Amino acid sequence: MASSLGNVSTQPYFLKTPDPQLIPQQRQQHNEAVYAYGEYSMFILMWHIEDYLAGACQRCPYCFGEKNPVEAAIEDAYKQAILNKCPQCFGTTYFQNDAARLGGLKARIVRPCMWNTADVTHDYVQQGEVDSSTSTVQSISDFRMRSGDYVFRADQTRWRVETIQTDFIISGFQAASDINAMIGYTYPGCKQEEKTSVAFIIPPEPSIAGPLLNVNPALNYPVDFSTWEVINGELIADDFVVGP
Ligand SMILES: [Zn+2]
């Protein structure tokens, strides 16, 4: 049977229009819940290869730049930095040359978040006994972490983001993405880092970051952490575009 809608064999009579109010409202309620029951943590957004390819950062001049012929040969052969724990790019090999502060970081921001830390387990590995722990971290919606980024907690522990889960609401018939339908981001399976991790050379030191984040006595209004914050790139990259 011919149809004005082409050759699709099942067609509904009605396609629901997306509700443009619903998503910002839900996002706001989620943000308020995190502020009501959360705690402050410091979120460290690292530079990644996508940023480099997009021209937002350059190669790190300290560990990936000018070097002697032997170092250059190593770099050329292995396509990796000659320095393992570079104090400028913190191991990513990316650096923004025109950044006013901390060019090795895409951003360092303080945001409220909620943790559900699992119990610490003790493992015997090559390096001896290590404590390991994982947690899900949930924060507000004005930034998005990627795997390999770090979270510094008020208890002076430091955590590596492993996976990202976008919570979103579909309110009608539309091409939904994690930008236009997003309520917030959750980071399941964040892994607690060892003291030897490169996470511990990112300033400020845990003894400074800990008391800063552990706001005590608790205030009934948000604290201004802007003097500690550095934003050298987009907090949420790759905006959704309906194409082509
Ligand atoms: Zn470097």
Domains of the chain, residue spans: 17-45+107-218, 48-103
- What phi and psi values does residue 119 have, to the nearest 5 degrees? -65, 150
Q: What is the DSSP letter of 198?
A: G
Q: What is the DSSP letter of 66?
A: S
For residue 51, report the distance from its CA to the centre of ligand 1, in Å. 15
Cα–Cα distances in angstroms (integers) from residue 120 to residues 175, 197, 228, in the given order: 42, 18, 30
For residue 66, report the distance from its CA to the centre of ligand 1, in Å. 12
For residue 157, report the distance from its CA to the centre of ligand 1, in Å. 24
pLDDT level of residue 130 (50, 70, 90 thresholds): confident
For residue 160, report the distance from its CA to the centre of ligand 1, in Å. 19
Let me know: does 61 contact 94? Beta carbons within 8 Å.
Answer: no
Asked if the model's pLDDT at residue 21 lies above 80, the reply is: yes
Asked if the model's pLDDT at residue 177 lies above 80, the reply is: no
For residue 40, report the distance from its CA to the centre of ligand 1, in Å. 29
> pTM of this prediction?
0.85
For residue 140, report the distance from its CA to the centre of ligand 1, in Å. 30
d(CA 108, CA 45): 6
Residues at Cβ < 5 Å from ligand 1 ion: 60, 62-63, 86, 88-89
* pLDDT of res. 132: 80
